[in-house]
Amino acid sequence: MKSLMFISLFTLVTWCGSYPQTRAICEERLGSVPEEWMYEPDARPSKLAALNVSLAEREDAHEDHPKLALTISWAISIDQSNDHLVGTWIRVVGYENSFRCQYQPPFNEIDTTGYEQLWFNLTGVEAEPEKTYYVIGYNIPTPMIGDDPGSKVTQFRTPGCSNKTMMHHDSCVRKGCIWDPNVTSIHSKNQVEVSFTSSKYSTEYIIRLCRSKSEMECTGGEYISKVTTFTEGESRWLTTLNSTGPCDLLHIELVPTFPGWHPHCARTRTAKVSCTPTGKYHIIMS
Ligand SMILES: *[C@@H]1O[C@H](CO)[C@@H](O)[C@H](O)[C@H]1NC(C)=O
Ligand SMILES: *[C@@H]1O[C@H](CO)[C@@H](O)[C@H](O)[C@H]1NC(C)=O
Ligand SMILES: *[C@@H]1O[C@H](CO)[C@@H](O)[C@H](O)[C@H]1NC(C)=O
Ligand SMILES: *[C@@H]1O[C@H](CO)[C@@H](O)[C@H](O)[C@H]1NC(C)=O
Ligand SMILES: *[C@@H]1O[C@H](CO)[C@@H](O)[C@H](O)[C@H]1NC(C)=O
């Protein structure tokens, strides 16, 4: 046990200190197989050691790069056959292009002593919510037809819009997933003044005033008044509701109307009405 721990610690240290300096440079190519597919190789590299897929939020996102991408990572075994390794082919089923990844500098020009495998990754494929991706990877040149194709296949299911990372996907944003209305309200006399920030994807909001013992919702409480507000763009809006009785248990419910309703994202937001000193004074006096 002790020696095992020592080995893994040692690997960690060398990994951080002097990871062999080679990079996988990946280019998108039309078609599903590399041109080497056609030819019979004299010698070929060993199989991919591993192929994994995860979800990543990219910081360098712009129009050509998806904001939310699949991180496809793979491992190359370090062995003699790497002299014949031309590159690695990655294909995502349903994505029209494939990726041809080449190592710079190539494996025979770097010092890999002490390593069993090296990891690489690419983040060029947009991740849509709630979708299953099949990723196929193999080293080039490929084996002859009839031999073990040497490919690895991995299946990855992306989470839905309620996932903290995924909610930044455009289609989730349009359903209100990252909308924060920042509801504030002030009680005065027989009125409650409500302000909130609208989302540009919802132009109609129902605002209800209720009296409820629960901090979180009006359900089970008594509804006092209601207004419908039409908005435009992302802006701060002010509206007034009629109120009765003391302020203490008053809550505001803000119901948005996002298209493509999503149970988590388009949910009703509830906020406690702030009972200002003026409000309290009014209650005591009445
Ligand atoms: C990567 O995939 C391999 C199988 O290909 C699996 O054994 C390993 O646990 C995976 N690693 C991570 C970090 O997901
Ligand atoms: C992908 O590779 C980069 C650079 O080699 C590395 O910094 C990053 O941690 C890798 N990401 C994953 C998910 O393996
Ligand atoms: C979001 O999804 C990713 C990828 O499936 C997962 O690793 C992560 O744990 C999820 N986060 C939450 C908060 O569920
Ligand atoms: C919420 O609105 C209040 C009042 O307009 C403002 O002071 C506060 O900074 C806002 N908070 C956020 C998180 O936007
Ligand atoms: C609030 O009360 C006033 C006076 O009782 C009434 O005229 C008005 O229509 C009410 N407003 C709403 C939004 O119910």
Angle at 234 between CA 195 and CA 274, to 5 degrees: 15
pLDDT of residue 14: 36
Which alpha helices (H) appear in the chain, and where do they start and end? 2-17, 170-173, 277-285
pLDDT at 143 over 60: yes
Tell me the per-residue pLDDT of 146-164, one tens digit each, with 9 for 90 and over: 677 789 999 999 999 999 9
Is the torsion defined by CA of 45, 51, 56, 61 positive or negative? positive
pLDDT at 122 over 80: yes
Tell me the per-residue pLDDT of 187-210, one tens digit each, with 9 for 90 and over: 988 999 999 999 999 999 999 999
- How many angstroms does the Cα of residue 182 sit away from the middle of ligand 4? 6
- Token pair 């990844």 is found at 101
- Decide: 235 in ligand 4 pocket, CB within 6 A: no
Phi and psi based region of residue 245 (left: phi greater than 0; alpha: psi -120 to 50; beta: remaining): left
What CATH class does 3-171 carry? mainly beta
- Decide: 182 in ligand 4 pocket, CB within 6 A: yes
Helix (H) or strand (E) holding 160: none
- Token pair 């002299």 is found at 83
Going from N- to C-terminal start, the domains of the chain cover: 3-171, 179-284
pLDDT of residue 66: 62
Instruction: Report the 3 state secondary structure along 198-254.
Output: CCCCCCEEEEEEEECCCCCCCCCCEEEEEEEEECCCCCEEEEEEECCCCCCCEEEEE
- Token pair 């000193």 is found at 277
> Whose atoms come closest to the Cα of 166: which ligand?
3
Decide: helix, strand or coil at residue 187. Answer: strand
Nearest CA to ligand 4 atom 14: 182
- How many angstroms does the Cα of residue 144 sit away from the middle of ligand 2? 32
Nearest CA to ligand 5 atom 9: 242
Is the torsion defined by CA of 269, 270, 276, 281 positive or negative? positive
Least confident span in 67-81, 96-110, 209-223, 243-257: 209-223
pLDDT at 242 over 60: yes
The CATH number of the structural domain formed by 179-284 is 2.60.40.2150
In a 13 Å sphere around the CA of 172, the CA atoms on its Cβ side amount to 21
What Rg value do the Cα atoms of the chain yield, rounded?
Answer: 29
Pairing type for strands 97-104 and 23-30 reads antiparallel
Least confident span in 30-34, 81-85, 94-98, 212-216: 212-216
pLDDT at 283 over 90: no
- Give 279 or 89, the one with higher predicted confidence: 89
- Decide: 242 in ligand 5 pocket, CB within 6 A: yes
pLDDT of residue 150: 83
- Decide: 188 in ligand 5 pocket, CB within 6 A: no
pLDDT of residue 210: 95
Q: Report the percent of the chain where pLDDT is more than 90.
A: 54
Nearest CA to ligand 1 atom 9: 52
pLDDT at 44 over 80: yes
Tell me the per-residue pLDDT of 1-30, one tens digit each, with 9 for 90 and over: 333 333 333 333 334 445 678 999 999 999
Whether 179-284 and 3-171 are alike in CATH topology: the answer is yes
pLDDT of residue 64: 59
Distance from chain centroid for Cα 279: 44
- How many angstroms does the Cα of residue 183 sit away from the middle of ligand 3? 28
Question: Measuring CA to CA, which residue among 85, 79, 81 is closest to residue 100?
Answer: 85
- The mean pLDDT value for 90-100 works out to 93
Mutate to test the pocket of ligand 4, among 182, 185, 276 (most ligand atoms within 8 A of CB): 182
